[in-house]
Structure 1
Amino acid sequence: MSKQSKKVQLSEFEEKLQESRLQAERAGTQPGAPKEPFRIERDDVADREEKVIPVIEEQVHVEKRTVESGKVRISKNVREDEVMVDIPVVHEEVDVQRIPVDQYVEQAPPAVRYEGDKMIISVLREELVLVKRIKVVEELHITNRRVEDHKTQPINLRREEINIERLRNDDLNTP
Protein backbone atom coordinates (compact mmCIF):
# COMPACT_ATOMS: atom_id res chain seq x y z
CA MET A 1 0.00 0.00 0.00
CA SER A 2 1.24 3.47 -0.73
CA LYS A 3 1.38 6.28 1.80
CA GLN A 4 -1.54 8.10 0.15
CA SER A 5 -3.92 5.12 0.46
CA LYS A 6 -2.94 4.82 4.15
CA LYS A 7 -3.80 8.48 4.68
CA VAL A 8 -7.17 7.95 3.00
CA GLN A 9 -7.95 4.99 5.24
CA LEU A 10 -6.86 6.85 8.33
CA SER A 11 -8.92 9.87 7.43
CA GLU A 12 -12.02 7.71 6.81
CA PHE A 13 -11.45 6.12 10.19
CA GLU A 14 -11.13 9.51 11.79
CA GLU A 15 -14.38 10.66 10.10
CA LYS A 16 -16.26 7.64 11.45
CA LEU A 17 -14.83 8.22 14.91
CA GLN A 18 -15.87 11.86 14.86
CA GLU A 19 -19.37 10.94 13.67
CA SER A 20 -19.83 8.43 16.50
CA ARG A 21 -18.61 11.01 19.03
CA LEU A 22 -21.07 13.62 17.73
CA GLN A 23 -23.96 11.16 17.87
CA ALA A 24 -22.97 10.20 21.42
CA GLU A 25 -22.89 13.86 22.48
CA ARG A 26 -26.35 14.50 20.97
CA ALA A 27 -27.77 11.42 22.67
CA GLY A 28 -25.99 12.29 25.93
CA THR A 29 -24.13 8.98 26.16
CA GLN A 30 -20.53 8.05 25.93
CA PRO A 31 -19.12 6.58 22.71
CA GLY A 32 -19.03 2.82 22.78
CA ALA A 33 -21.79 2.61 25.43
CA PRO A 34 -24.89 0.63 24.48
CA LYS A 35 -27.71 2.81 23.15
CA GLU A 36 -30.30 1.37 25.48
CA PRO A 37 -29.39 -0.55 28.67
CA PHE A 38 -30.87 -3.97 29.34
CA ARG A 39 -34.02 -3.54 31.39
CA ILE A 40 -35.92 -5.84 33.66
CA GLU A 41 -39.54 -4.97 34.13
CA ARG A 42 -41.46 -6.15 37.14
CA ASP A 43 -45.23 -6.55 36.79
CA ASP A 44 -46.03 -6.75 40.49
CA VAL A 45 -44.63 -3.29 41.24
CA ALA A 46 -46.53 -0.24 39.98
CA ASP A 47 -43.35 1.74 39.61
CA ARG A 48 -41.18 0.48 36.99
CA GLU A 49 -37.56 0.32 38.00
CA GLU A 50 -34.73 0.05 35.60
CA LYS A 51 -31.90 -2.26 36.50
CA VAL A 52 -28.63 -2.49 34.69
CA ILE A 53 -26.95 -5.88 34.70
CA PRO A 54 -23.23 -5.75 34.06
CA VAL A 55 -21.78 -8.44 31.79
CA ILE A 56 -18.61 -9.83 33.30
CA GLU A 57 -15.90 -11.78 31.58
CA GLU A 58 -13.15 -13.64 33.36
CA GLN A 59 -9.69 -13.90 31.92
CA VAL A 60 -6.88 -16.19 32.88
CA HIS A 61 -3.21 -15.29 33.07
CA VAL A 62 -0.84 -18.29 33.08
CA GLU A 63 2.82 -18.16 34.09
CA LYS A 64 5.41 -20.87 34.36
CA ARG A 65 8.49 -21.05 36.51
CA THR A 66 11.17 -23.65 36.91
CA VAL A 67 11.31 -25.33 40.31
CA GLU A 68 14.02 -27.78 41.28
CA SER A 69 12.31 -30.99 42.34
CA GLY A 70 15.34 -33.21 42.75
CA LYS A 71 18.85 -33.99 41.61
CA VAL A 72 20.61 -36.94 40.07
CA ARG A 73 24.23 -37.82 40.80
CA ILE A 74 25.97 -39.84 38.08
CA SER A 75 29.36 -41.42 38.64
CA LYS A 76 31.52 -43.64 36.47
CA ASN A 77 33.91 -46.39 37.55
CA VAL A 78 36.56 -47.91 35.29
CA ARG A 79 37.34 -51.55 35.93
CA GLU A 80 40.28 -53.48 34.53
CA ASP A 81 39.97 -57.21 34.05
CA GLU A 82 42.92 -59.34 32.98
CA VAL A 83 41.96 -61.93 30.39
CA MET A 84 44.08 -64.55 28.69
CA VAL A 85 44.02 -64.31 24.91
CA ASP A 86 45.33 -67.03 22.59
CA ILE A 87 47.15 -65.21 19.78
CA PRO A 88 48.42 -67.13 16.74
CA VAL A 89 51.98 -66.02 15.89
CA VAL A 90 53.36 -66.96 12.47
CA HIS A 91 57.00 -67.11 11.48
CA GLU A 92 58.85 -68.79 8.65
CA GLU A 93 61.70 -71.22 8.94
CA VAL A 94 64.11 -72.04 6.14
CA ASP A 95 65.46 -75.57 5.88
CA VAL A 96 68.73 -75.74 3.91
CA GLN A 97 70.06 -79.16 2.83
CA ARG A 98 73.46 -79.55 1.23
CA ILE A 99 73.33 -82.25 -1.46
CA PRO A 100 76.70 -83.21 -3.01
CA VAL A 101 76.50 -83.45 -6.86
CA ASP A 102 80.11 -83.45 -8.11
CA GLN A 103 79.37 -83.04 -11.85
CA TYR A 104 81.01 -80.99 -14.53
CA VAL A 105 78.93 -78.51 -16.44
CA GLU A 106 79.27 -77.71 -20.10
CA GLN A 107 79.16 -74.03 -21.22
CA ALA A 108 77.01 -72.02 -18.75
CA PRO A 109 76.22 -72.52 -15.10
CA PRO A 110 72.73 -73.96 -14.38
CA ALA A 111 70.00 -71.44 -13.47
CA VAL A 112 68.06 -71.40 -10.22
CA ARG A 113 65.16 -73.88 -10.52
CA TYR A 114 62.10 -74.89 -8.49
CA GLU A 115 60.70 -78.33 -7.68
CA GLY A 116 57.34 -77.79 -5.94
CA ASP A 117 57.97 -75.49 -2.97
CA LYS A 118 61.72 -76.25 -3.06
CA MET A 119 64.20 -73.78 -4.63
CA ILE A 120 67.44 -75.34 -5.97
CA ILE A 121 70.59 -73.21 -6.33
CA SER A 122 73.75 -74.75 -7.77
CA VAL A 123 77.03 -73.97 -6.01
CA LEU A 124 79.88 -73.69 -8.50
CA ARG A 125 83.65 -73.85 -8.35
CA GLU A 126 86.18 -73.38 -11.03
CA GLU A 127 88.98 -75.92 -11.25
CA LEU A 128 92.19 -75.42 -13.06
CA VAL A 129 92.65 -78.12 -15.68
CA LEU A 130 94.17 -78.10 -19.10
CA VAL A 131 90.70 -77.75 -20.20
CA LYS A 132 88.57 -75.52 -18.14
CA ARG A 133 85.20 -77.03 -17.24
CA ILE A 134 82.49 -76.21 -14.80
CA LYS A 135 81.70 -78.82 -12.21
CA VAL A 136 78.65 -78.82 -9.95
CA VAL A 137 79.96 -79.58 -6.53
CA GLU A 138 76.76 -79.52 -4.60
CA GLU A 139 73.19 -78.19 -4.66
CA LEU A 140 71.35 -76.34 -1.99
CA HIS A 141 67.75 -77.53 -1.60
CA ILE A 142 65.82 -74.78 0.20
CA THR A 143 62.30 -75.47 1.47
CA ASN A 144 60.11 -72.70 2.86
CA ARG A 145 57.95 -73.94 5.70
CA ARG A 146 55.28 -71.98 7.57
CA VAL A 147 55.04 -72.73 11.28
CA GLU A 148 52.23 -71.46 13.50
CA ASP A 149 52.63 -71.37 17.27
CA HIS A 150 50.11 -70.32 19.86
CA LYS A 151 51.27 -68.12 22.72
CA THR A 152 49.10 -66.99 25.59
CA GLN A 153 49.45 -63.30 26.48
CA PRO A 154 47.80 -61.48 29.39
CA ILE A 155 45.91 -58.38 28.16
CA ASN A 156 44.16 -55.74 30.31
CA LEU A 157 40.66 -54.85 29.15
CA ARG A 158 38.85 -51.82 30.64
CA ARG A 159 35.12 -51.59 31.24
CA GLU A 160 33.10 -48.60 32.46
CA GLU A 161 30.19 -48.92 34.84
CA ILE A 162 27.69 -46.09 35.45
CA ASN A 163 26.03 -45.50 38.84
CA ILE A 164 22.94 -43.26 39.06
CA GLU A 165 21.73 -42.01 42.45
CA ARG A 166 18.53 -39.95 42.81
CA LEU A 167 18.65 -37.37 45.59
CA ARG A 168 15.51 -36.46 47.55
CA ASN A 169 14.46 -32.87 48.21
CA ASP A 170 15.97 -33.06 51.77
CA ASP A 171 19.35 -34.04 50.25
CA LEU A 172 19.45 -31.06 47.86
CA ASN A 173 21.32 -28.85 50.30
CA THR A 174 24.10 -31.38 50.88
CA PRO A 175 26.87 -31.46 48.23
Structure 2
Amino acid sequence: MQPSDSQLPTNATPLVVPVIEEFVRLEKETVETGRVVIRKYVHLDTQTVDVPLREEQVQVQRIAVNRYVDEAPAVRYEGETMILPILREEVVVTKRLLLVEELHVRTQVLNNSTPQTVELRREEVHYERVPTPPTPPQS
Protein backbone atom coordinates (compact mmCIF):
# COMPACT_ATOMS: atom_id res chain seq x y z
CA MET A 1 0.00 0.00 0.00
CA GLN A 2 1.26 3.41 -0.89
CA PRO A 3 1.28 6.18 1.69
CA SER A 4 -0.87 9.18 0.93
CA ASP A 5 0.51 12.74 1.02
CA SER A 6 -0.71 13.14 4.58
CA GLN A 7 1.18 10.05 5.64
CA LEU A 8 4.57 11.12 4.19
CA PRO A 9 7.12 12.40 6.67
CA THR A 10 7.60 16.13 6.38
CA ASN A 11 11.35 15.98 5.88
CA ALA A 12 11.15 13.22 3.23
CA THR A 13 12.36 13.94 -0.31
CA PRO A 14 9.78 13.23 -2.93
CA LEU A 15 10.60 10.24 -5.07
CA VAL A 16 10.94 11.02 -8.79
CA VAL A 17 10.16 8.15 -11.18
CA PRO A 18 11.18 8.83 -14.76
CA VAL A 19 8.65 7.78 -17.48
CA ILE A 20 10.30 6.64 -20.65
CA GLU A 21 8.63 6.14 -24.00
CA GLU A 22 10.38 4.62 -26.98
CA PHE A 23 9.59 5.26 -30.65
CA VAL A 24 10.54 3.24 -33.67
CA ARG A 25 11.56 4.98 -36.89
CA LEU A 26 11.86 2.73 -39.91
CA GLU A 27 13.65 3.67 -43.10
CA LYS A 28 14.04 1.70 -46.31
CA GLU A 29 16.87 1.79 -48.79
CA THR A 30 17.02 0.41 -52.29
CA VAL A 31 19.99 -1.89 -52.56
CA GLU A 32 21.13 -3.02 -55.99
CA THR A 33 21.89 -6.73 -55.87
CA GLY A 34 22.71 -7.20 -59.51
CA ARG A 35 21.95 -6.17 -63.07
CA VAL A 36 20.58 -7.92 -66.12
CA VAL A 37 21.94 -7.45 -69.62
CA ILE A 38 19.53 -8.38 -72.41
CA ARG A 39 20.66 -8.93 -75.98
CA LYS A 40 18.20 -9.40 -78.82
CA TYR A 41 19.23 -10.92 -82.12
CA VAL A 42 17.09 -10.94 -85.28
CA HIS A 43 17.75 -13.78 -87.67
CA LEU A 44 16.56 -13.57 -91.26
CA ASP A 45 15.75 -16.97 -92.71
CA THR A 46 14.89 -17.47 -96.38
CA GLN A 47 12.46 -20.25 -97.17
CA THR A 48 10.83 -21.49 -100.35
CA VAL A 49 7.13 -22.16 -100.00
CA ASP A 50 4.50 -23.38 -102.46
CA VAL A 51 1.79 -20.78 -102.96
CA PRO A 52 -1.44 -22.21 -104.40
CA LEU A 53 -2.69 -20.11 -107.29
CA ARG A 54 -6.13 -20.27 -108.88
CA GLU A 55 -6.56 -19.64 -112.57
CA GLU A 56 -9.79 -19.72 -114.51
CA GLN A 57 -9.78 -20.30 -118.23
CA VAL A 58 -12.86 -19.54 -120.30
CA GLN A 59 -13.46 -21.30 -123.58
CA VAL A 60 -15.92 -19.73 -126.01
CA GLN A 61 -17.34 -21.84 -128.82
CA ARG A 62 -19.53 -20.27 -131.50
CA ILE A 63 -22.37 -22.51 -132.70
CA ALA A 64 -24.29 -21.31 -135.78
CA VAL A 65 -28.07 -21.78 -135.39
CA ASN A 66 -29.74 -19.50 -138.04
CA ARG A 67 -33.27 -20.25 -136.88
CA TYR A 68 -36.12 -17.76 -136.59
CA VAL A 69 -37.67 -17.45 -133.13
CA ASP A 70 -40.75 -15.65 -131.81
CA GLU A 71 -39.02 -14.24 -128.73
CA ALA A 72 -35.51 -13.97 -127.37
CA PRO A 73 -34.39 -17.19 -125.64
CA ALA A 74 -33.16 -16.84 -122.08
CA VAL A 75 -29.60 -17.57 -121.01
CA ARG A 76 -29.47 -21.23 -120.05
CA TYR A 77 -27.04 -23.78 -118.66
CA GLU A 78 -26.26 -27.27 -119.89
CA GLY A 79 -24.06 -28.83 -117.20
CA GLU A 80 -21.14 -26.45 -116.67
CA THR A 81 -21.73 -24.70 -120.00
CA MET A 82 -23.56 -21.35 -120.08
CA ILE A 83 -25.39 -20.74 -123.37
CA LEU A 84 -25.93 -17.11 -124.41
CA PRO A 85 -28.26 -16.52 -127.36
CA ILE A 86 -27.07 -13.96 -129.97
CA LEU A 87 -29.92 -12.26 -131.85
CA ARG A 88 -30.23 -10.09 -134.91
CA GLU A 89 -33.30 -8.32 -136.15
CA GLU A 90 -34.09 -8.48 -139.83
CA VAL A 91 -36.45 -6.12 -141.60
CA VAL A 92 -38.99 -7.88 -143.75
CA VAL A 93 -42.63 -7.28 -144.32
CA THR A 94 -42.95 -8.70 -140.88
CA LYS A 95 -40.33 -8.62 -138.26
CA ARG A 96 -39.10 -11.92 -136.81
CA LEU A 97 -36.15 -13.07 -134.80
CA LEU A 98 -33.41 -15.15 -136.31
CA LEU A 99 -31.30 -17.05 -133.79
CA VAL A 100 -27.96 -16.61 -135.49
CA GLU A 101 -25.69 -18.40 -133.08
CA GLU A 102 -25.19 -19.42 -129.49
CA LEU A 103 -22.11 -18.91 -127.43
CA HIS A 104 -21.28 -21.95 -125.32
CA VAL A 105 -19.15 -20.68 -122.43
CA ARG A 106 -17.43 -23.21 -120.17
CA THR A 107 -15.38 -22.24 -117.14
CA GLN A 108 -12.41 -24.39 -116.22
CA VAL A 109 -10.59 -23.98 -112.91
CA LEU A 110 -6.89 -24.86 -112.76
CA ASN A 111 -5.01 -25.02 -109.46
CA ASN A 112 -1.23 -24.68 -109.63
CA SER A 113 1.45 -24.43 -106.98
CA THR A 114 4.24 -22.02 -107.70
CA PRO A 115 7.41 -21.95 -105.55
CA GLN A 116 7.86 -18.52 -103.98
CA THR A 117 10.78 -17.21 -101.93
CA VAL A 118 9.75 -15.41 -98.75
CA GLU A 119 11.76 -13.93 -95.89
CA LEU A 120 10.73 -14.78 -92.34
CA ARG A 121 12.10 -12.99 -89.27
CA ARG A 122 12.87 -14.85 -86.05
CA GLU A 123 14.01 -13.07 -82.89
CA GLU A 124 16.27 -14.61 -80.29
CA VAL A 125 16.87 -13.07 -76.84
CA HIS A 126 19.80 -13.83 -74.51
CA TYR A 127 20.28 -12.35 -71.05
CA GLU A 128 22.85 -12.62 -68.30
CA ARG A 129 22.86 -11.38 -64.75
CA VAL A 130 25.76 -9.04 -63.89
CA PRO A 131 26.39 -8.83 -60.11
CA THR A 132 27.29 -5.50 -58.60
CA PRO A 133 29.89 -5.18 -55.82
CA PRO A 134 28.38 -4.91 -52.31
CA THR A 135 28.03 -1.41 -50.96
CA PRO A 136 29.40 -0.66 -47.45
CA PRO A 137 26.72 -0.06 -44.81
CA GLN A 138 25.94 3.55 -44.07
CA SER A 139 26.27 4.81 -40.48
Fold shared per TM-score above 0.5:
yes
Alignment of 1:111-130 (within 5 A): 111-130=74-93
Higher relative contact order (CA 8 A, sep 6+): 2
Alignment of 1:67-146 (within 5 A): 67-105=31-69, 107-146=70-109
Residue 114 (structure 2) aligned to one of 144, 151, 154: 151
Distance in 1 of aligned mates of 2:67 and 2:87: 10
SS in 2 for 1:134: strand
Distance in 2 of aligned mates of 1:91 and 1:101: 31
TM-score by length of 2: 0.69
Please tell me whether residue 162 in structure 1 is matched to residue 125 in structure 2: yes
> Residue deviations 1:76-118, cap 9 Å, x none?
111111111211122322111111122222x212121111221
What number of residue pairs does the alignment pair up? 122
Kindly tell me: are residues 130 and 161 of structure 1, through their superposed partners in 2, closer, same or farther at Cα, counting changes over 3 Å? same
TM-score by length of 1: 0.57
Q: Percent identity between the aligned chains?
A: 43
In structure 2, give the amino acid aligned to 1:118: T
Distance in 2 of aligned mates of 1:67 and 1:129: 109
Larger relative helix fraction: 1
Q: What residue number does 2:137 align with?
A: none
Distance in 2 of aligned mates of 1:66 and 1:130: 110
Q: Which runs of 5 or more residues in structure 1 are unaligned?
A: 1-19, 34-59, 171-175
Larger relative strand fraction: 2
Residue 8 (structure 2) aligned to one of 26, 47, 60: 26
| Range moving further from structure 2, 60-69 or 123-132 | 60-69
Cα shift at 1:140: 0.3
Distance in 2 of aligned mates of 1:130 and 1:66: 110
Tell which structure's C-alpha radius of gyration is larger: 1
| Range moving further from structure 2, 130-139 or 147-156 | 130-139
SS in 1 for 2:15: coil
